Amino acid sequence: MAAPRGIQLEFNPAVNDWVVHWKRLQQYFIANNITDDNIKRAILLNGLHQDAYGLLQTLCVPDEPETSSLVILTGHLDNYFKKQNVVFVERFSFYSAFKQETESAQEWSARLKKLSMYCDFGESFDTKLCDKFITGYNPGKVRNKLFSEKSSVTFSNALQVALTEEAAQVGMLQCDSEIKREPNEIDVNRIVQRNGGRKEASSSSSVEKGHSSFGGRAAGEVFRVKVKCFRCGKDHLANVCPYHFLSRLPILDADSDSKNFDFEEGIRDFENSHINLNYLSNAEYLPIDVTRMREETMMDPVLSQVVSYVKNGWPSNCLEEVKPFYKLRFEIGIEDDVLLWGHRVLVPSSLRKTILAELHSGHFGIVKTKSLARSYVWWPSLSKDIEVMVKKCQECQSARSTPEKTPLVSWPIPELQENDDDEEEEN
pLDDT tens digits, 44-69: 888 888 888 888 888 888 888 888 89
How many of the other CB atoms lie within 10 Å of CB of 184?
15
User: What pLDDT, in 10s, does the model give residues 148-180?
Assistant: 888 889 999 999 999 898 888 877 766 655 555
User: What pLDDT, in 10s, does the model give residues 200-209?
Assistant: 444 333 344 4
* Tally of domains in the chain: 5
3-state per-residue secondary structure call for the chain: CCCCCCCCCCECCCCCCHHHHHHHHHHHHHHCCCCCHHHHHHHHHHCECHHHHHHHHHHCCCCCCCCCCHHHHHHHHHHHHCCCCCHHHHHHHHHHCCCCCCCCHHHHHHHHHHHCCCCCCHHHHHHHHHHHHHHCCCCCHHHHHHHCCCCCCCHHHHHHHHHHHHHHHHHHHHHHHHCCCCCCEEEEEEEEEEECCEECCCCCCCCCEEEEEECCCEEEEEEEEECCCCCCCCCCCHHHCCCCCHHHCCCCCCCCCHHHCCHHHHHHHHHCCCHHHHHHHHCCCCCCCHHHHHHHHHHCHHHHHHHHHHHHCCCCCCCHHHHHHHCCCCCEEEECCEEEECCEEECCHHHHHHHHHHHCCCCCCHHHHHHHHCCCEECCCHHHHHHHHHHHCHHHHHCCCCCCCCCCCCCCCCCCCHHHHHHHHHC
Least confident of 12-21, 344-353, 404-413: 404-413
Asked, for residue 12, whether it belongs to a domain, the answer is no
- pLDDT band for position 425 (cuts 50, 70, 90): low
Is pLDDT at 374 greater than 80 in this prediction? yes
Task: Based on the fold, state whether residues 56 and 150 are members of the same structural domain.
Answer: no
- pLDDT band for position 419 (cuts 50, 70, 90): low
Average pLDDT over residues 15-31: 86
Asked, for residue 426, whether it belongs to a domain, the answer is no
Is pLDDT at 421 greater than 80 in this prediction? no
The whole-number pLDDT of residue 379 equals 92
Average pLDDT over residues 193-216: 42
Strand order in the sheet with 344-346: 332-335, 338-341, 344-346, 377-378
Task: Based on the fold, state whether residues 224 and 250 are members of the same structural domain.
Answer: no
Task: Based on the fold, state whether residues 163 and 262 are members of the same structural domain.
Answer: no
CA 231 – CA 237 distance, rounded (Å): 9
What does pLDDT average to over the chain? 76
Contacts of 121 (CB under 8 A, 6+ apart): 128, 129
Is pLDDT at 397 greater than 80 in this prediction? no
Is pLDDT at 295 greater than 50 in this prediction? yes
- Sign of the CA dihedral running 145, 147, 150, 154: positive
Task: Based on the fold, state whether residues 158 and 132 are members of the same structural domain.
Answer: yes
Task: Based on the fold, state whether residues 193 and 251 are members of the same structural domain.
Answer: no
| Phi-psi region at 337: left, alpha or beta (left = phi > 0; alpha = psi -120 to 50) | left
CATH of the domain at 161: 1.10.1200
Domain boundary among 178, 193, 210: 178
The whole-number pLDDT of residue 278 equals 53
Is pLDDT at 132 greater than 70 in this prediction? yes
Asked, for residue 411, whether it belongs to a domain, the answer is no
Average pLDDT over residues 225-248: 60
Task: Based on the fold, state whether residues 296 and 207 are members of the same structural domain.
Answer: no
- pLDDT band for position 287 (cuts 50, 70, 90): low
Is pLDDT at 212 greater than 50 in this prediction? no
Least confident of 45-59, 109-123, 188-202, 253-267: 188-202
Task: Based on the fold, state whether residues 118 and 25 are members of the same structural domain.
Answer: no
Task: Based on the fold, state whether residues 253 and 282 are members of the same structural domain.
Answer: no
CB 384 within 8 A of CB 373: no
CATH of the domain at 291: 1.10.340.70
Q: Can you give the residue range of the structural domain that contains 61?
A: 18-81
Asked, for residue 371, whether it belongs to a domain, the answer is yes
Task: Based on the fold, state whether residues 284 and 388 are members of the same structural domain.
Answer: yes
Name the percent of the chain lying above pLDDT 90: 6
Task: Based on the fold, state whether residues 142 and 254 are members of the same structural domain.
Answer: no
Task: Based on the fold, state whether residues 372 and 284 are members of the same structural domain.
Answer: yes
Asked, for residue 4, whether it belongs to a domain, the answer is no
Is pLDDT at 189 greater than 50 in this prediction? no
Asked, for residue 25, whether it belongs to a domain, the answer is yes
Is pLDDT at 72 greater than 60 in this prediction? yes
Average pLDDT over residues 116-131: 88
Asked, for residue 407, whether it belongs to a domain, the answer is no
The whole-number pLDDT of residue 3 equals 73
Asked, for residue 348, whether it belongs to a domain, the answer is yes
The whole-number pLDDT of residue 130 equals 92
112 vs 217: which has the higher pLDDT: 112
Task: Based on the fold, state whether residues 96 and 141 are members of the same structural domain.
Answer: yes
Is pLDDT at 239 greater than 60 in this prediction? no
Average pLDDT over residues 413-422: 66
Least confident of 222-226, 236-240, 261-265: 222-226
Average pLDDT over residues 393-419: 74
Residue 44: burial class (beta carbons within 10 Å; 0-12, 13-18, 19+): buried
Average pLDDT over residues 350-371: 87
- pLDDT band for position 195 (cuts 50, 70, 90): very low
211 vs 93: which has the higher pLDDT: 93
Is pLDDT at 315 greater than 80 in this prediction? yes
